[in-house]
């Protein structure tokens, strides 16, 4: 089941830079694992912003929330979730 997610990252400017770097490194590892498992199906950077649009393919709302709330950057993000489904005009078979 697919979900569209927008994530906006806002790291406080007074967070020590070593702490920020460590969180960002863990974020990357965490994202790689979920992409390899095919649960985090797409991730695109939004031009000019510290933000991304992503597509998740999960079993249900609970699994989606566990993934998102487990993001190392979760407490510094604004997240907006939109449930998706197959569009009646879609022709790809592997996109739902």
**Interacting residues toward its own copies by CB under 8 A:** 1-5, 11-15, 27-28, 31-32, 35-36, 42-50, 52-53, 55, 60-62, 64-65, 68-69, 75-76, 79-92, 95-96
In the complex, the smallest distance separating the C-beta of residue 66 from its own copies, rounded to whole angstroms, is 9
Contacts within 8 Å (CB) and 24+ apart, 23-28 = 23/72, 23/73, 23/76, 24/72, 24/73, 26/72, 27/71, 27/72, 27/73
In the complex, the smallest distance separating the C-beta of residue 21 from its own copies, rounded to whole angstroms, is 14
Using DSSP's 3-state secondary structure scheme, residue 75 falls into helix
Residue closer to its own copies by CB (options 21, 32) is 32
């Amino acid at each position: 089941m697919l979900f569209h997610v927008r994530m906006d990252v806002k790291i406080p400017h007074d967070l020590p830079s070593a702490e920020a770097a460590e969180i960002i490194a863990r974020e990357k590892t965490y994202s790689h694992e979920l992409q390899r498992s095919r649960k985090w199906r797409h991730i695109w950077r939004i031009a000019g912003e510290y933000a991304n649009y992503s597509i998740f393919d999960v079993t249900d709302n609970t699994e989606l929330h566990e993934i998102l709330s487990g993001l190392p950057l979760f407490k510094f993000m604004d997240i907006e979730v939109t449930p998706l489904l197959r569009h009646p005009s879609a022709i790809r078979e592997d996109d739902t």
